Structure 1
């Protein structure tokens, strides 16, 4: 026995001498347990369905927002492409510029490149642009060659 006077192992009661619980009482306890368990599970199921429904609605809202953003991004991308095409059409490339086009044609027919470069330098054009025919043509005087040629031309006219 422990300090409270209770046996350490077992209750010390002979269970064979204890009368059985009435059967009606046992069935009532079981019924009450089943009813409470079913009520709990029904409430739990209802709460879960409400939360899933709210989550489904939120997912639909997010999908709608993503579709709107995707459509806006596609429109913006298309507008950027159109702007780029307009800018590209308006930009004069080396190949389209008549000052450089004849030199590019000379390269195609096999005229020595050094001779073409020397001729371009003498006319005040940038010979490095022969290597990049799709590059935009610099504005007059941007490459520094045109200004030098105008100075040299003015010295010839004096």
Structure 2
């Protein structure tokens, strides 16, 4: 044990066996490459599983959007019921031009633009909220379609560039 001190002549030490060192290095390289290949295969498998799950989720979202598009909006249902109510309440009298001009003069001017909840671009997202889809998920979908998600927080906001059907 006293020989470990370091006062030994290194020229007296026999050289290392090159075949043995080569075997160790080869074993290290082979085991490392095997590990990396198995790791990459595992990662690829998980990516494929995630992609399938994402495709299923996206398909479900498309189906949900189609179902939401088939639901009539409250505004459309309300507008369709107005003519029937008018006919039922007074089927004989018809408004004259004077009545119409008086009504137009009395009513306040409409603000320029469209309410956000009535805009064609945003209507389906408000339907999603109405049906119960979580707001963060709806906002992510809006961002993916290039729309401003903060508009969901203010449905009565007047959009100057709004589009009605």
Partner of 2:17: 22
Task: Mark the runs of 5 or more structure 2 residues left unpaired by the alignment.
Answer: 108-165
Could you tell me which of 40, 44, 47 is aligned with 2:42? 47
Q: Structure 1 residues 41 and 13 mapped into 2: Cα distance closer, same or farther (>3 Å)? A: farther
| Cα displacement (A) at 1:97 | 7.7
Partner of 1:87: 81
Q: Structure 1 residues 46 and 98 mapped into 2: Cα distance closer, same or farther (>3 Å)? A: same
Could you tell me which of 28, 34, 37 is aligned with 2:32? 37
Give the ranges of 4+ consecutive aligned residues of structure 1 lying more than 3 Å apart after TM superposition: 11-16, 78-82
Highest RCO, 1 vs 2 (Cα 8 Å, sep ≥ 6)? 2
Partner of 2:60: 65
Could you tell me which of 98, 105, 108 is aligned with 2:98? 105
Q: Structure 1 residues 14 and 97 mapped into 2: Cα distance closer, same or farther (>3 Å)? A: farther
Partner of 1:122: none
- Residues of 2 paired with 1:107 and 1:49: CA distance? 70
Task: Mark the runs of 5 or more structure 1 residues left unpaired by the alignment.
Answer: 1-5, 114-127, 133-158
Q: Kindly indicate whether residue 51 of structure 2 is the aligned counterpart of residue 56 of structure 1.
A: yes
Q: How many residues of Structure 1 are paired with residues of Structure 2 in the alignment?
A: 104
Q: Structure 1 residues 50 and 13 mapped into 2: Cα distance closer, same or farther (>3 Å)? A: farther
| Cα displacement (A) at 1:33 | 0.7
- Residues of 1 paired with 2:36 and 2:25: CA distance? 16
How much is the aligned-residue C-alpha RMSD, in angstroms?
3.7
- Residues of 2 paired with 1:38 and 1:17: CA distance? 38
> What TM-score results when the alignment is normalised by the length of structure 1?
0.51
| Cα displacement (A) at 1:42 | 1.3
